[in-house]
Amino acid sequence: MFDSGLGGLSVLRAIRRDLPAARLLYVADSGHAPYGERDMPFVQERSLVIADFLRSQGARLLVVACNTATAAAVQLLRSRHPDWPIVGVEPGIKPAAALTRNGRIGVLATEGTLRSERFRMLAQAHAAHVELHLQPCPGLAAAIEAGDLDAPALLDIVRRCCEPLRVAGVDTVVLGCTHYPFIAHHIQAVLGPAVRLIDTADAVARRTADLTDGPPPLPAGSASAGREVRLWTTGDRQLLADVTRRWLDFPCRIEAWPAEHPGARADHVG
């Protein structure tokens, strides 16, 4: 699986819970994050390059753990790899439309996701009967990418992005970027406890498990933590190691990609 950076770790966490014995590979393209502020050709090119790398590592299924990359590139990836199961991530408009009580739904997402044709079609298919309040969040994914989830600058962006939705009286808010679940508690604090937050990581994990014929059994006598997850980053390897240590509860191997030099050191976390 891959994301523009750290956000897809929320999807990785859900898949790890459902498939603890699976061999999981993850690329954090933090050197080019966030995708939501890039143009579509750039995101498509990065997606193709990373997908080719993961397939070369033996991946039997690909999870595009990024809303923007799904919107921009999932169809291109499927046409390039027609024999490879590919799971995308999309904002949870459909479940939000089913759960709203007052018919007013907010969507927090990157500008790239909200302006995509794929998002427009998703909203048209599932939200024609409700009010959608679309809230782009410039700078929020990048602030989360820095790793400090309580930084004053990050909290300022959260307040600025959530306030229009609070004023609009939405009762359901879609977290339309895989980075955002890591700050769901801050979003909830601004919107209030009565507002329901929709995150699709669990649905993506279930779909992934379905396509792999369910969770494989853990080896006899093994710990429930299962095997080490292998992660690569195009950005700061130490930052990814620090973040996985704080945000995840399973062992990880962190490597630079492309490799800094032959035999480049890997960091083991957990």
Please check if 102 is assigned to a binding site: no
Tell me the catalytic residues. Answer: 66, 177
If asked whether residues 157 and 192 sit together in one domain, one would say yes
pLDDT of the residue at 265: 52
* Residues 161-171: b if buried by 16+ CB within 10 A, e if exposed: bbeebeeeebb
Tens place of pLDDT per residue across the chain (270 aa): 999 999 999 999 999 999 998 999 999 999 998 898 899 999 999 999 999 999 999 999 999 999 999 999 999 999 999 999 999 999 999 999 999 999 999 999 999 899 999 999 999 999 999 999 999 999 999 999 999 999 999 999 999 999 999 999 999 999 999 999 999 999 999 999 999 999 999 999 999 999 987 555 555 444 444 578 999 999 999 999 999 999 999 999 999 998 654 444 556 666
If asked whether residues 261 and 176 sit together in one domain, one would say no
* Amino acid at position 142, single letter: A
The parent domain of residue 190 ranges over 93-199
pLDDT of the residue at 227: 79
If asked whether residues 263 and 135 sit together in one domain, one would say no
pLDDT of the residue at 263: 41
Please check if 200 is assigned to a binding site: no
Determine the 3-state secondary structure of 216 from DSSP. Answer: coil
pLDDT of the residue at 267: 67
pLDDT of the residue at 91: 94
Please check if 180 is assigned to a binding site: no
* Amino acid at position 137, single letter: C
Point out the domain boundary residue: 199, 233, 259: 199
- Counting the structural domains of the chain, the total is 2
If asked whether residues 15 and 99 sit together in one domain, one would say no
pLDDT of the residue at 261: 42
Proportion of the chain in helix, strand, coil states, percent, rounded to 5: 45, 15, 40
pLDDT of the residue at 86: 98
Please check if 178 is assigned to a binding site: yes
Instruction: Write down the pTM of the prediction.
Output: 0.88
Question: The CATH number of the domain where 247 resides is what?
Answer: 3.40.50.1860
Point out the domain boundary residue: 181, 199, 217: 199
Point out the domain boundary residue: 199, 215, 249: 199
